[in-house]
């Protein structure tokens, strides 16, 4: 399942785990309890935590809450994350995703990525082969759209190519139009 192919030496930065927990809002207590059963009893912003334990915890929680809430959690995540000042548009936020992802993980091992290929006429293709859930990543992209609303755009459309990480595919490919 999620994260099983990861090196057990990859770590996640505490601040981003905190952001994840905070994004769970009413599930926060539950998230903390589940993290504790995976060996993460206290969560410090400046500490690093084994990615497998973090993913294992979220897998436990997300299995219970289902895809809709998973998407909502992804959607709440950027609210709790800090953005550098040069990020001032939806496109630049999308392009910064991978860097932000890398800054919040460390250690030897392949953690996958967020690959963004900008298109023409307000389109973009995003390929995700990171071990986080598909719905979660879709929620993140929607949240970036809400946080940096593009001018003259009513909504973000996300079309998912066939093949999904949730069904064992290596990556999910999304076509974005706004
Ligand atoms: Zn998918």
Residue-wise pLDDT for 13-42, tens only, equals 999 999 889 888 888 999 999 999 999 999
Question: Residue 144: exposed, middle, or buried by beta-carbon count in 10 A (0-12, 13-18, 19+)?
Answer: buried
Angstrom distance (rounded) from CA 19 to CA 49: 14
Averaged confidence pLDDT in the chain: 90
Q: Where are the domains of the chain?
A: 11-78, 86-177
**What spacing in Å lies between the alpha carbon of 137 and ligand 1's midpoint?**
9
**What spacing in Å lies between the alpha carbon of 48 and ligand 1's midpoint?**
28
**What spacing in Å lies between the alpha carbon of 10 and ligand 1's midpoint?**
23
Q: At what angle do helices 134-147 and 51-76 cross, to 10 degrees?
A: 40
Q: What is the pLDDT, as a whole number, of residue 9?
A: 87
Residues 49-106 have pLDDT tens digits of: 999 999 999 889 888 888 888 888 888 888 777 777 889 999 999 999 999 999 999 9
Class of 86-177 in CATH: alpha beta
pTM above 0.85, yes or no: yes
- For the record, the structure tokens of 140 come out as 């993140």
- For the record, the structure tokens of 71 come out as 């998407």
**What spacing in Å lies between the alpha carbon of 134 and ligand 1's midpoint?**
4
């Amino acid at each position: 399942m999620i994260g099983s192919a990861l090196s057990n030496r990859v770590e996640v930065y505490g601040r981003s785990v905190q952001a994840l927990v905070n994004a769970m809002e009413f599930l926060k207590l539950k998230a903390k309890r589940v993290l504790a059963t995976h060996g993460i009893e206290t969560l410090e912003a400046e500490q690093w935590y084994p990615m497998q334990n973090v993913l294992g915890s979220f897998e436990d929680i997300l299995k219970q809450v289902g895809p809709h809430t998973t998407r909502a959690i992804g959607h709440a995540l950027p609210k709790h994350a800090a953005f550098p000042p040069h990020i001032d548009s939806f496109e630049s936020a999308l392009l910064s995703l991978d860097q932000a992802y890398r800054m919040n993980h460390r250690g030897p091992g392949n953690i996958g990525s967020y690959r963004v290929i900008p298109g023409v006429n307000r389109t973009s293709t995003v390929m995700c082969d990171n071990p986080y859930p598909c719905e979660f990543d879709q929620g993140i992209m929607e949240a970036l759209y809400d946080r940096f609303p593009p001018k003259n755009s009513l909504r973000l459309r996300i079309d998912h190519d066939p093949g999904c990480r949730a069904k064992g595919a290596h990556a999910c490919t999304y076509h974005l139009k706004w």
